[in-house]
Amino acid sequence: MTAELNTAPTPPGAAHRLAKIVTEVLSPAVIVVLLPFGVGWNATGHRLLPTIVWAIVVAVFYSVLPMVFIVRGARQGKWDGHWVRERERRFLPLMMCLGSALVGLVILLVWDAPRDIIALGWSMVAVCVAAVIITKWWKVSLHATVAGGATATMLLIYGWVMLLLVPLVALVAWARVQVRDHTAAQVIVGAFLGPVVGGVVFVLLR
């Protein structure tokens, strides 16, 4: 008797499962919520309440509102998921991110936020603009871009001890390749795009 063929799909391995977890835990949405707390803590002279206030403003307009829009669009079938894997469909979500960020930046300027917070706002707007331009022709990794930019920002504020964050950038890059959402070139370019664009703007404006 011929043995029955096993046509069931091979379950993902441990590396793939870890990469999926890293993709979510160290996503741009999460990092952009956490980063302004680190920047604000130094910018406000280590005062807790002002840090929380400014961090919430940045988090809402640079992360929460854009993600609400993206997730809602995914549920409506406008793109393939909350990370929008198809490059051709990334323009609208990125423009929504840019528009929301600009509104947040205006609020920071009108409310006279600390200089480093405003510099952070401008730097993230600059990175978003760069991502919009690049994505017109090529799918750069936004996960790696944000992770690299956040690490560079913390390094500029708190010094060389923040080099301890570099392995996390490498972990994000590995995860995005492991889940097959990006190529090695796309994560490498992303990892440098954040520091080069965002880091330079932050240094010039702080």
Query: Each residue of 154-195: pLDDT tens digit?
Result: 999 999 999 999 999 999 999 999 999 999 999 999 999 999
pLDDT, one tens digit per residue, over 109-149 is 999 999 999 999 999 999 999 999 999 999 999 999 999 99
Amino acid letter for position 199: G
Residue 8: predicted pLDDT: 44
DSSP H or E run through 103: helix 91-110
**Is 3's pLDDT higher than 70?**
no
Closest by Cα among 197, 141, 192 to 22: 141
Amino acid letter for position 117: I
Residue 11: predicted pLDDT: 56
Closest by Cα among 67, 90, 95 to 78: 90
CA 104/CA 92 separation, integer angstroms: 18
Return the domain boundaries, the chain. 22-205
pLDDT, one tens digit per residue, over 42-81 is 999 999 999 999 999 999 999 999 999 999 999 999 998 8
**Is 10's pLDDT higher than 50?**
no
Q: What is the DSSP string of the chain?
A: -PPPP--SPPPP-HHHHHHHHHHHHT-HHHHHHHHHHHHHHHHTTS-HHHHHHHHHHHHIIIIIHHHHHHHHHHHTTSSSSTT---GGG-HHHHHHHHHHHHHHHHHHHHTT--HHHHHHHHHHHHHHHHHHHHHTT----HHHHHHHHHHHHHHHHH-GGGGGGHHHHHHHHHHHHHTTSS-HHHHHHHHHHIIIIIIHHHHHH-
Residue 22: burial class (beta carbons within 10 Å; 0-12, 13-18, 19+): buried
Contacts of 120 (CB under 8 A, 6+ apart): 35, 36, 39, 58, 153, 202
